Each structure stands twice: as C-alpha cells, then as structure tokens.
Amino acid sequence: MPAELQWGGRFSGSPDAALLAFGSSLEEDLLLGSFDVAGSRAHVKALLGGGIIDAARAKALDDALQTVAAEVADGRFAAYARSSGAEDGHGAIDARVRELAPGSGADLHTGRSRNDQVATALTLYVRDRAERARDLCVAIARDALARAEDALQRDILLPATTHMQPAQPVLLAFWLSAVAENFTRAARRAGRVAADARESSPLGSGACSGSTLPLDRQAAATFLEFAAPSRNALDAIGDRDLALDLLHAVARATLAASRVSGELVVWATPAFSFVRLGDEASTGSSLMPQKRNPDPFEFIRGTAALIDGELLGALSSLGGLPLSYHKDLQATKAATIRGTERGLAALAAFRLAVGYVEWNAAAMTARAGDGYTVATDIADALVARGVPARTAHSLVGATVSAAERAGRPLAQSDLDELAKAAQLDSPLAAPLDALTSVRAKQTTGSTSPGAVAEAIAQLRQVLDQQFGKVAS
C-alpha cells in the first residue's frame, strides 16, 4: 500500500493506479488549500483543548501548518502536492506536516475524518467566495449609480424596449439605476450566503457520528469564526446546501451581467450606435479590417450559460443520495468550484469592461422618440380628460397607424383630431417629444428626472447601510 495514502491498514493490495487517479480530487483541492490548512489549525486547537495533545505538540503542529500556509500562498505547495502521490489535497497537507514535524505530525489527523475536513474547508471557501461576490456586486452597483448621476445631469435619453421593440422614452440614468438595483439584489444574495457560512462548523463531526475523543469543538469553531459547532454530525458531513447557495448566488449575479452584456452588444452595433467600446474592451477580426468586436461581453454571456450548467450538475449530483458522505459529493464540490471561479472572473471582467463603454448621447437621445414612443402619453392624456382607457387606446392606435402610413411623426394636428374624435370641449395637450414625455411622469419609481434622482439617492443609502460606505 502506498505510504502517502491516509488509509490502507485493512488492505492487502494497492488500488489500481488508473482508478485512484480517476477518483482524485487533488486539482480542485488545491484551490481549497488555504482553507484546509485553516481547518487543520483549528483541529489542533480542538485536540489541545480536549487534552488529547500537549502544548508542545500543538505548537509543533501549528508551526508546521503555518509553513504549509505560506507554501500554499506562494505556490510552492501545489508543486509539492502534485508530486507527492497523494490522492487529494487533504492527504498532501497531512504528508507535508509529517515531513515538517516528524515527531508530532502523525497526531494531526487524530479524531478527524476527511469527511468533516472537506466539509469544513468547503464551508470556509464558500464564505470567502461569497464575500468576494458580494463585494464585486456592490462595486458594480456603485459604478452604475455614479454613471447614472452623470447621465441624469446631461438629460441623456434612450428608447426603452419591450420585445426589443420601441416602447417608451426613458432616461439613460433610469436604465443605469435599474442595473444598480439588479446588482444590489445580487450582493444581498451573496451576503446572505456569507453570513450563513459563519453559523455552524462541521469540524469535529468525524466520519458521520462524532468522536469518542473529547475534542474541544467550540475552540475550533471560535478559531474559524463560526458561531458554534454543528448540532448533528450526520447532517454536517453530508450537507452541501451552502455550496449550492454560493453557486446559485454567483450564477444569478453572472446572469445579471449577461443580460446587461447582451444589451450592450446590441447597442454597439452600427444599427444602434448607442455605445462605443473603447479599444481596451474591443477586439478585431483576423480577416475584416473594419471590425470592432465586443468580445468581453460575449464571453460574459457564454460564461453565464456555463455556470448555469455547473449549478444544474451540482444539484443533480445530490439527487437521491442518502444522508452522510458519499463520493458523489466530490462532483458537487468540483462543480461549485468551477462555476464559482468562472463567475467571479466574469463579474470582475464585466466591471472592467463596462468602464470602457462610451455613451453616444446624441444617438440615444435622437432615437428616444422613434417608433411613436410617446403614444402612451397621448392615450393617458385622453384618459385624464375622461375618455375610457380602451377607447383612448383604440383612437391613438389608429392615429399612429395613419402617421406611420404617411411616414411622419405625431404632431399637434394629431392631438387636435383626437380631441375632436373624443368630443372634447377644449384642445388636447400631451407630450409629443421624448424629453417632455420623460418629464411628464408622475409616479414614484418612474423615469422622471425627480423620481430617478430620488431612486439613486435611496439606493446609495441602502448600499451604505447594508454594505458600508467605502466602495469595494
């Protein structure tokens, strides 16, 4: 039996090398290295607190683990782990500690299973990455609000669309504020995951039923900044809810980035020309000299789809599993790590790329009224004069149809004809241009300049209260 394996006493032969390699989680575990080391340091606290090892042996173990932590941080440990013959990162850390502390290294795994070890390391990973996702989303939201304030001062307009067809004029600041709202929700989701990952420490649960050794689980939990040890060992070692919650939160945040990216890709086309991407966020064609391709935003869309697949895979890998630990959970871990790392990279790239977007204010504002986007305002004006909504809708629809056939915009003469058709006793007043339409909105949460300014101020307050006043 290979000496580098953490098990084998009851076996008379060695595992098939190909099958051992197939079941190895070493590469995924390397990303968990710092968290696994932290969990091992906490376990030393539990051993010391329970009187299982003395202070001298505890110090030797902790010193060795701090050396491993430094090697993880500077990349040396990855090379060691790959050459060690260990089947996973946990075994590689154990082997390295035994090298560094030959007199006490064999004590490290006392009273511990890889089951509670990986559950703890994964929970610490979830906490760290959820906080990163939260901070990225907060930063994106604040960036959007800063650009919204600038756009609001400039009265930049654009046509909002439904079904990708012209709908109603809105302020660009209104669109940017909507982006900020979306990422604020994403930040809250990630923040909840991070908070949940501080509640309960799996460490000390053992293989599935706890330990006959008097481990000081509270000391370990305190060291790792958990509120308390887990209440049920069987649940703790097989629970992957936090991993799924993290992957879901990252998937949702990346989805938000994907939707904005999709709109920016369309806006960057010559048919729209609403935005221009700086050279820093564009690529060219190997054949066509004129091309400016919005590659970062296309990559973000593609990445969002891949993360959805990882989330579905992680969910499916748990389907039908009994309680306790099963090797299937290794697939859950791998999917969580792959999806999370891709998602965080996509969010960072999104924030960077959006910073290189230049608004074509003239083109946006000029097109805001195209497609008869003020028609709803005219129907509302009729309703305000006592015309039933269905009647107003029909009258204005017919007027738009006539103007469209004539190839002209709506004009004051159309309002006069509508007043006659509705048998009004005085002229009809209604917005005929996009800016007047925007300024005419009266409801909270609307695209009127006042409502947008208030929404921006309120959202800034929410971000400051919930996530602190210093931008991430």
Confidence of residue 471 (pLDDT cuts 50, 70, 90): very low
Residue 275: pLDDT over 90: yes
> Which of 321, 336, 367 is the C-terminal boundary of a domain?
367
Within a domain: 9: no
**In this structure, what token pair is assigned to residue 333?**
């871990």
* Within-domain flag for 433: yes
The stretch 261-290 carries a mean pLDDT of: 95
List residues bridging with 168 in a β-sheet.
160
If you average pLDDT over residues 236-263, what whole number do you get?
Answer: 98
State whether 359 and 276 are in the same domain: yes
Q: Are residues 273 and 329 in the same domain?
A: yes
Backbone phi and psi for residue 374, each to the nearest 5 degrees, phi listed first: -90, 5
Least Cα distance to 85 among 95, 74, 75 occurs for 95
3-state SS record for 91-138: HHHHHHHHHHCCCCHHHCCCCCCHHHHHHHHHHHHHHHHHHHHHHHHH
Q: What average pLDDT does the structure give for the chain?
A: 94
Are residue 119 and residue 56 in the same domain, yes or no?
A: no
Q: Are 42 and 223 in contact (CB under 8 A)?
A: yes
Choosing from 83, 163, 286, 426, the catalytic residue is: 163
Pairing relation of β-strands 165-171 and 275-277?
A: unpaired
What are the CB-based long-range contacts (under 8 Å, 24+) for 308-317?
308/251, 308/255, 310/247, 310/251, 310/335, 310/336, 310/338, 310/339, 310/342, 311/244, 311/247, 311/248, 311/251, 311/335, 311/339, 314/240, 314/243, 314/244, 314/247, 314/339, 315/244
Each residue of 124-134: pLDDT tens digit? Answer: 999 999 999 99
The confidence band for 399, taking pLDDT boundaries of 50, 70 and 90, is very high
Question: Residues 459-471: what's their mean pLDDT?
Answer: 88
Reported as a single tens digit per residue, the pLDDT across 364-397 is: 999 999 999 999 999 999 999 999 999 999 999 9
- The answer as to whether 84 is a domain residue is yes
Task: Round to whole Å and give the CA distance between 467 and 472.
Answer: 9
Identify whether residues 105 and 141 lie together within a single domain: no
Residues 98 and 129 in one domain: no
Alpha-carbon distance values, 195 to 111, 134, 189, 206, 248 (Å): 28, 11, 10, 24, 15
- Is 90 catalytic? The answer is no
Same domain, 83 and 214: no
Answer positive or negative: Cα dihedral of 368, 373, 374, 380: negative
Report residue 34 as tokens: 């710092």
Look at residue 3 in the predicted model and tell me its pLDDT. Answer: 47
Position 469 in a domain: no
Work out the pLDDT band at 9, boundaries 50, 70, 90.
Answer: low
pLDDT score recorded for residue 297? 97
Higher pLDDT, 121 or 20: 121
Would you state the pLDDT for residue 8?
A: 59
Beta bridge partners of 343: none
What is the pLDDT, as a whole number, of residue 6?
Answer: 61
For residue 236, tell me if it sits in a domain.
Answer: yes
- Rounded to whole angstroms, the maximal C-alpha distance in the chain is 102
Domain that holds residue 55: 17-110
| pTM of the full structure | 0.93
So what's the pLDDT on residue 233? 97
Of 348, 367, 386, which marks where a domain is finished? 367
Mean pLDDT of 4-27: 66
Query: Same domain for 283 and 346?
Result: yes
Residue 146, domain CATH: 1.20.200.10
3 located within any domain: no
Across the range 37-47, mean pLDDT stands at: 98
pLDDT of residue 4: 56
Would you say residue 27 lies in a domain?
Answer: yes
Range of weakest confidence among 2-16, 134-148, 282-296: 2-16
Rounded distance between C-alpha atoms, residue 38 and residue 161, angstroms: 51
CATH code for the domain in which residue 90 is found: 1.10.275.10
pLDDT tens digits, residue range 50-81? 999 999 999 999 999 999 999 999 999 999 98
Instruction: Provide mean pLDDT across the span 346-357.
Output: 98
Quick check: 299 and 306 in contact, CB under 8 A? no
Tokens found for residue 459:
């959202």
Q: Is the pLDDT of residue 83 over 90?
A: no
Residue 28's pLDDT band, with cuts at 50, 70 and 90, is confident
DSSP code at position 6: S
Same domain flag for 208 and 345: yes
253 and 131 in one domain?
A: yes
Q: Which residues of 396-435 are buried (b: 16+ CB within 10 A; e: fewer)?
A: beebbeebeeeeeebeeebbebbbebbeeeeebebbbbbb
Q: Across residues 336-352, what is the average pLDDT?
A: 97
The domain tally of the chain equals 3
The stretch 297-302 carries a mean pLDDT of 97
Residue 268 is assigned to a structural domain of this protein? yes
Residue 43 appears among annotated catalytic residues: no
The answer to whether residue 16 scores a pLDDT higher than 70 is no
Which among 34, 231, 248 has a CA at the least distance from the CA of 128?
Answer: 34
Is there a single domain that holds both residue 152 and residue 211?
yes
**From 14, 285, 401, 413, active-site residue:** 285
How does DSSP assign 421-443, residue by residue? Answer: HTT-SS------SHHHHHHH--S
| The predicted structure's pLDDT at residue 464 | 97
Q: Which of 316, 346, 145, 157 is nearest to 240 (CA)?
A: 316
Domain boundary among 336, 367, 398: 367
Is 175:143 a contact under the CB 8 Å cutoff? Answer: no
**310-324 residue pLDDT tens:** 999 999 999 989 999
Q: Do 363 and 388 have their domain in common? A: no
pLDDT digits (tens, 9 = 90+) for 408-417: 999 999 999 9
233 and 320 assigned to the same domain: yes
Query: Residue 7's pLDDT band (boundaries 50, 70, 90)?
Result: low
Distance CA 301, CA 295 (A): 10
